[in-house]
Amino acid sequence: QQQVKQSPQSLIVQKGGISIINCAYENTAFDYFPWYQQFPGKGPALLIAIRPDVSEKKEGRFTISFNKSAKQFSLHIMDSQPGDSATYFCAASYNAGGTSYGKLTFGQGTILTVHP
């Protein structure tokens, strides 16, 4: 119920291509879905996030598509660049109130490599 399943584990894309990473969840109480980018030896950085009342959100080259009925959401990176090579994590959380507010459940991560 608490799991977030992420795929693929690794992804290789040519420069200028579109990178697509998918996540699926079970818990319908989740109401916040962020994506994080992590470079080796660094903490995750918040890229973009969406709430379930919106089906798509775009920020620059990054777009989240959200399908509430299918309980799936995905990250699209347009015009992928070598500098985008990193590990990407999807996550989900819900407002359980009290001490659990904002507790994130992470996907397994996707290692993205963008070739020049």
Partner 1 sequence: GAVVSQHPSRVICKSGTSVKIECRSLDFQATTMFWYRQFPKQSLMLMATSNEGSKATYEQGVEKDKFLINHASLTLSTLTVTSAHPEDSSFYICSARSRGIGAFFGQGTRLTVV
Chain positions contacting partner 1, by CB under 8 A: 32, 34, 36, 41-46, 49, 89, 93, 99-104, 106-109, 111
Place of tokens 């777009």: 63
C-beta neighbour count of 91 within 10 angstroms: 22
Q: 33, 92 in Cβ contact below 8 A?
A: yes
Of residues 41 and 83, the one with the C-beta less far from partner 1: 41
Q: 4, 24 in Cβ contact below 8 A?
A: yes
Of residues 62 and 106, the one with the C-beta less far from partner 1: 106
> What residue type is assigned to position 109 of the chain?
G
CA-CA-CA-CA torsion sign (93, 95, 99, 37): positive
CB 87, min distance to partner 1, A: 8
CB 93, min distance to partner 1, A: 8
Of residues 45 and 78, the one with the C-beta less far from partner 1: 45
CB 33, min distance to partner 1, A: 11
